[in-house]
Amino acid sequence: MNKVFLVGNLTRDPELSTVGTSGASVCKFGIAVNRRVGGNQETDFYNITAWRMLGENCAKFIKKGSKVAISGDIQIRNYEDKEGNKRTSVEVTADAVEFLDRKGDNPSNSYDQTNNVEMKPIADDSLPF
C-alpha cells in the first residue's frame, strides 16, 4: 500500500494549469512539514500535485503560508539534471486536502477527490451530540 499523510504549510502559492487535449486541471504547490529528530526539529519539503476539482479548490482557497493536511500517494523519481548530476524528486499526488487555517484566516473547506464531494464546515452548536 502506498499512502502518505502530511500536515504542513504551503511554501509557495498554488499554480493552476490545464494539461493535454482533455484540459484537465492540475494544481502544483509545495509544503513544509516539521518532524522531530531526538530533541531537534527538522523540516522536510514536498511537492504536491492535485488534479481536477481538487486542484481547482486548492488554487481557490489556499495560498503561501496556509496550513493543510494532505493524504495521497508518494512517488520517488530519479533523473539526471542538465549538468548530468543524478537527482531524486519526491512528489505527492493528493487524494484529499483539508484546509486547516482558523476561520477568518482562510476559507475552511476541504475536498475529497475519492468521493467527488465538497465538504463544508459546520458550526459545533449544530451538531446533534
Residue 52 has pLDDT above 60, yes or no: yes
Q: What pLDDT digit, counting tens, does each position of 77-124 carry? A: 999 999 999 999 889 999 999 999 875 554 444 555 555 555 566 566
The dihedral through the CA atoms of 11, 94, 46, 81 has a sign that is negative
| High-pLDDT (> 90) share of the chain, % | 68
End-to-end Cα separation, the chain, in angstroms: 35
**108 or 71, higher pLDDT:** 71
User: Per-residue pLDDT averaged across 42-58, rounded?
Assistant: 95
| 96, 110 Cβ separation under 8 angstroms | yes
What domains are there in the chain, each with its CATH number? 4-126 (2.40.50.140)
User: Looking at residue 22, what is its pLDDT?
Assistant: 84
Q: How confident is the model at residue 21 (pLDDT cuts 50, 70, 90)?
A: confident
Query: Residues of the chain with pLDDT > 70: what percent?
Result: 78
Q: Determine the residue type at 110.
A: S
Contact status, residue 108 vs residue 123, Cβ threshold 8 Å: no
DSSP 67-98: EEEEEEEEEEEEEE-TTS-EEEEEEEEEEEEE
What is the spatial distance between Cα 120 and Cα 111, in angstroms, rounded to a whole number?
9
Between residues 120 and 68, which one has the greater pLDDT?
68
How many Å apart are CA 49 and CA 56, to the nearest integer?
11
What pLDDT is recorded for position 106?
A: 46
Q: Is the dihedral of CA 105, 107, 113, 115 positive or negative?
A: positive
What's the pTM value of the predicted model, to 2 decimals? 0.74
Yes or no: say if 86 and 78 are a contact pair by the CB < 8 Å rule.
yes
3-state secondary structure of 85: coil
95, 111 contact by CB (below 8 A): no
pLDDT tier for residue 125 given thresholds of 50, 70 and 90: low
